[in-house]
Copies of this chain bind each other. A is one copy, B any other.
Amino acid sequence: MRAAAVQFEPVFGDIEGNARRLAGLIEPVDADLFVMPELALSGYLFESTEEAEGLSQPPESGVFDRLAAIAGEKDATVIIGFAERADEGLYNSSLLMAPDGRREVYRKIQLFNTEKEVFLPGNRPPAIVEVAGVKLGMMICFDWIFPEVARSLALLGADILCHSANLVLPYCQDAMVTRSIENRVFSITSNRVGTEKRAGLELTFTGQSEMVSPRGRIIERAAVTGETVLVHEIDPTEARDKQITPRNDIRGDRRTDLYRLD
């Protein structure tokens, strides 16, 4: 299959414009999976919860229709980070649009810093979405620092970690190599670029979107700045070989009888 990491700089608050530009970025690209950054429609630094509410959508919102249509046309999966509106409040979520029209949501479990003032923490376990036989696991940005998130997805059978991010710290891209190695899965980190100055803060996002193989090879890593779409042919079944040596199965060798994980 052909997998794509979309590195993108949204214009804060321009939901329709960002959706249109994202559609324009992927329309010419031949791929089966597109992973886009966290909060790619809205931008990141909200002045208030009310502002975030005004920039949020439910997963069935029409603002996703063009991207969903592209998924159908290309027989591809599109994953995008967005501010999810739910009855009980807002979630920092990823929406997966499958070629058959399904829309599946992952709600970020580990909120970063001031996100806690705007969003509710994810209330559902990490889960796998299977599309055309490929097992996709979604995670968002700061989830990376908790090895349990990627591990949960891998134990559920993930072939590819689809990691939508708005990274401001410099550690994650290297850490995702470790996440791929320790779980023997592909990882696609799609990060933001650019700087946001809002709410009395200034954040510069670190780009360097990347695709990593189950053996920890960085297939490609993008630059720190600039929108781009990385596309590579990958074989997701590589992630199902957990045999790291003739006598070591990275999954079977786990000693859950000895770990202390509570």
Binding site for B on A (CB under 8 A): 109-110, 112-114, 116-117, 121-126, 142, 145-149, 151-152, 155-156, 171, 174-175, 177-179, 181-182, 216, 244-248, 250, 253-256, 258-262
Cβ 8 A contact of A253, one of B146, B181, B247, B253: B146
Given A245-B113, A247-B113, A254-B146, residue A260 in contact with residue B155 (CB < 8 A): yes
CB pair A261–B152 under 8 Å, yes or no, is yes
CA separation between A244 and B164, bound complex, in Å?
A: 21
CA separation between A33 and B178, bound complex, in Å?
A: 28
User: Which 8 pairs between the two chains have the least Cβ-Cβ distance?
Assistant: A147-B147, A178-B178, A113-B245, A148-B259, A152-B260, A175-B178, A125-B258, A152-B259
CB pair B182–A149 under 8 Å, yes or no, is no
CB pair A125–B260 under 8 Å, yes or no, is yes
Number of copies: 2
CB pair B258–A261 under 8 Å, yes or no, is no
Question: Which residues of chain B have C-beta atoms less than 8 A from A246's C-beta?
Answer: 113
CB pair B145–A181 under 8 Å, yes or no, is yes
Q: A121-B255, A155-B262, A156-B260 are in contact. List 13 more A-B contacts (CB 8 A).
A: A110-B255, A116-B247, A117-B247, A123-B258, A125-B258, A125-B260, A145-B182, A145-B244, A146-B253, A148-B151, A171-B216, A178-B178, A256-B261
